[in-house]
Chains A and B, each alone.
Chain A
Amino acid sequence: MRANLKVVDAFWEKRNLGVCCNEIEIEPGDETDFLKRELPLNEAEYTVVKVPSNKFDAMFLMQDLGYTYIESSINLVHDLKEIRLNPLQQRIMNSISYSTMSNKDIDQLFGEIRKGIFTTDRIYIDPYFSHEQAANRYVNWICDELERGCKIFKLTYKNNSVGFFTFKDIGEGVCYPFLAGMYQDYLKSGLGLCTIEKPLKQAINMNYKQYSTFISSNNTSTFSAHVALNFSFKKIYHVYIKHTA
């Protein structure tokens, strides 16, 4: 049994959302009494708790402690041996290219994010926060990751920027494209598969061994696109939130 909960002071959320936030990760071996005692002691204005999928006692405890289930986070991986596309998908993907973003491209990306291209994340759907806060959180996240050395690419169709993807090295031959999306004018174009196929291509070109990603259960279209591209399921955890401000 652990002496302390795994609590991260998510200080960046004060800048993003204007609240003090703690992110707590429950582990499979954590006993119910321990959680019942420790969780209330570690709450902040906004508390996010990640519960392993088979930790049923904790799922019910979350309800007893006044938490709201907001999403499940699904970890999918790809072994990068082959990108299997049907002939039509191949034809479409061949018409889309990708390249590293310039500063001007990044400005365009931030403008697109502020238009509201992401609408399923736990901040966007939470009535305690505004859609502007949800968008700015993505902008700040990308800025932080760029400072830490991540790469960011634009997706181009017929000289038009249609979307983007990020690309982060998380060590041991694993890459983590933590965010990708289509721009507003192309959200309903049916080209969304390129936000996964192009980073897969980039990972293969850079000799990575594995591509790892987390998808929200609120974003079913992205989940189905990953399934179509032969990703494998690795793990899932449920996310609960509580506002005490």
Chain B
Amino acid sequence: MTNLEKYIKAFEETFNITADQTKGLKYQAISEWDSVGHMSLIAALEDEFDIMIDTDDIIDFSSFEKGKEILSKYDVEIK
């Protein structure tokens, strides 16, 4: 499984959405992505990529696209 597939899977499983719905997805655009969902998503990504995301980055993680940028700081390239 590629990093992109793993990244999409984290969104799908956390928010119970399809891969199609992840593109352009932003925080609070769906009811599932609230503060509790946000924590669950971050936990899923930390587990999947074996990283620990800094709080500043957790705050900045405002969209599906932004998340890709943030993960690149942790040497997780999502293409």
Contacts and interface: CB of A to CB of B under 8 A. Distances in A.
B15 to A, nearest CB: 12
B24 to A, nearest CB: 15
Contacts, number: 52
A221 B32 CA distance: 8
Contacts of B17: none
Contacts of B55: 91-92, 95, 157
Interface residues of B, number: 18
Helix, strand, loop or mixed for chain B's interface?
A: helix
A221 B31 contact: yes
A116 B42 CA distance: 28
Contacts of A193: 35-36, 39
B36 A188 contact: no
B9 interface: no
A189 interface: yes
Contacts of B62: 188
B46 A225 contact: no
Contacts of A158: 56
Interface residues of A, number: 21
A116 B22 CA distance: 28
A228 B43 CA distance: 14
B43 A225 contact: no
Contact of B39 (A157, A190, A220): A190
Interface string B10-27: 000000000000000001
B39 A188 contact: no
Contact of B36 (A157, A186, A189, A228): A228
B31 A190 contact: no
| Most chain A beta-carbon neighbours within 10 Å: one of B27, B58, B62 | B58
B58 A190 contact: yes
Given A92-B58, A193-B36, A225-B35, 19 more contacts: A86-B43, A88-B43, A89-B39, A157-B55, A186-B59, A188-B28, A188-B62, A189-B59, A190-B27, A190-B35, A190-B42, A191-B35, A192-B35, A220-B34, A221-B28, A221-B31, A224-B36, A227-B36, A228-B36
